Structures are given as structure tokens and as C-alpha cells.
Amino acid sequence: MTVIDFATRAVVAQWPIPGGGSPDMGNVSADGRQLWLSGRFDSAAYMIDTTSGAVTKFRVGVEPHGLTVWPQPERYSQGHTGNMR
């Protein structure tokens, strides 16, 4: 993952996904502390700490395609970003 400062358009950090991964669509948590991404081709979801860049990988079902984080606790959608299923 590449972190970009949008004000300067400069790359400020590189956050590698363990094993290379296959990050796909996702969202940032309501408090901005976590970036959640689906791992489409490795049956995983990733939670990235937006302060440290630490990555946690979770095993999920086959080929998750997108992951949405809703501001309400315990609400999520695994599918195209923002589509409830």
C-alpha cells in the first residue's frame, strides 16, 4: 500500500501487505484509525492501522470482492463497496 499526502501529492509511506496479498476495494473506519480492504484473490480481509501501517490479515470466504465499513458498530457489507447484501 502506498500512502500519499494529498496536499503535496508526495508519497509519505509504503505499507506492505504480508505475502504480497491482493488488496481490493474497502473503506476507512468512521474514526479514521483503520483501513479495511478485501483480499480478493487470497480469501482474506485486511485491517491496516492508519497510524502505524500495521496490517492484520483475516481469513474469510472465497474471493471477497470489496468490503464496506459502516459507522454503526458491527455493520459491514462484503461485496461492492457500499452495497448491502
Show pLDDT as tens, one digit a residue, over the chain (85 residues): 889 999 999 999 998 887 888 888 888 887 889 999 888 888 899 999 999 999 999 998 888 877 777 666 665 555 555 555 4
Asked, for residue 4, whether it belongs to a domain, the answer is no
Q: What cell was used for 82?
A: 457500499
**Rounded Cα–Cα distance for residues 25 and 67 (Å):** 6
Q: Which amino acid is at 17?
A: I
Number of domains in the chain: 1
Asked, for residue 9, whether it belongs to a domain, the answer is no
Asked, for residue 12, whether it belongs to a domain, the answer is no
The closest alpha carbon to 24, from 6, 12, 36, belongs to 36
Asked, for residue 13, whether it belongs to a domain, the answer is no
Domain that holds residue 81: 21-85
Asked, for residue 54, whether it belongs to a domain, the answer is yes
User: What predicted TM-score, i.e. pTM, was given to this entire model?
Assistant: 0.76
